[in-house]
Structure 1
Amino acid sequence: MSTSLRSPEPTDTRRPASGSSQVTILERRPAARSRRRGAAGLVAVCVLALGVAACSVRDAKAEASASASASASAAIARAEKGIADANASATASREAALTPELRAKRDAALSEPEPAKPPQLNEESAEGAAASVGYFLNLYRYAFMTGDTTEFAAMSDDRCKFCKSTIDDANDIHSKGGWADKWDQEIVSMTYYEKLEGYEYNRVKVIVNYGAMASYYGDGQNPSTSEATYGQEVNFGVRYNNGRWMVGAVEAVSK
């Protein structure tokens, strides 16, 4: 016995002339459900085909993107290697150009120990301000000798133009393989001034003697030099902030 719940397919029948009980089947019409199934199957095939095409397009785009990314990464790697090779070549050329005497001067400058911190450095007092200014001057020389500007920058206020210029100059010299020879530096006198009403900084006036200076770029040829200076007046604007003295301005008075 059939368990199908579908209705029997309709048939088109005609009866014979009266008196006859025979039923003759003339034709069978295609089932509407079968036609619908066929159309649905065609739609499914089309959707499937379009889905495959869409996947293919997405895959192609993904592959193109991955290929472009890989190409860009390779180009960057080649550029970085080219820069590294050029830097290595420039360094080798500078080293070859240095005489034994210049190499010894450079090595001495680069091995200069970091200046010692005075005990009164962080005191909120006239003595603390004076000690900080003296330490700052030593860090200034140390930065040009070694290229290490860490402590100098830590004492520099963001608004200090002299400080930023010093850091940039020291970094520029050392990025080219240069250095500065150690120069003599003697503080003759130091005067601390109380902060004026409405002003944020204290003034510290320093009289300092400087020895001759010489700084070198790369191969050590054509150094930048300056003669010794005696009795140079330098004014510092300093303020006490977060447990330490900060330098906000430096001005060398023209003689």
Structure 2
Amino acid sequence: MKKSIFTLLAFIMLLSCQKEGEQITHPEYFEVQLKWFYTPNGATVYTAEIDGQVLVDSLSYGLPGYNFSRKMFTGSSNGMKRLVLKEEETDKVALDTAVMVSGKAAFELLAIAPDDRPRIMAGGGDENEPEPSDRNKAKFRYYYSESRLPDSVIMKFYSLNRTVRPFKKDEPSLGEIVIKRGRFSPYIELQTNIHDRNTSFLFELYNAATKEVIQPILFRNPVQPLFADGYSTPVSSTGSSVDGLPRYKFMTCILQWGRSGTAEKFYDIELFKTLYE
């Protein structure tokens, strides 16, 4: 008992001997999470560093268990940090950017085309997006990084009865979304069986800032609507089941430029989908 009291008194005396105003400092910590959202180069392995400290040395989208990393670091818990991503095999820098950390930060990597460099994904998917309001409907969102498009576009959707000649889009439009470059758009909900199994979908593109038409709907073939400028292949494909109901309840699509059908134009392709059970 006497020994315990002596130890306590000694500790108190030690504290009292500290210089006036002297403070005991504690190290700061911050946590960084990094994972792949999507890349077509699933076999490529990367290393990642935060302010020169190794975050992960074997990050790969295509290897189960290796597409995600989380690590705690010592250092200022708030502020900008330098994130560097390198190809593990060649040591080639794939991404060198500044990211904001505030105690804990999570980042997702995205590359769309095979020759795209990884980037930090902005405006990612909303995992809490409500289910479609009806079994006849599905929800769609879009993404683009195409330099030929302005920083923000309006995408307006129309339906088409592909058994009626000459082809003509249904009026009025089914709705529209605004897409910002490098960000996923909000979802738009569309009924996909308006003309039962004969329903197809078209889109027009507008400059969101000026409202000028970027790409109108143009029917290039009198018997093949899929050759039309603005024909939406992924959205149209949802109604190909026997009962005409959509197979997908959620779909993420990409807008890109290139030859599709018989012409160079902006067209869309499917990236991700979630099936109805």
What TM-score, normalized by structure 1, do the two folds share? 0.23
More helix by share: 1
What TM-score, normalized by structure 2, do the two folds share? 0.22
More strand by share: 2
Which entry has the higher C-alpha Rg, 1 or 2? 1
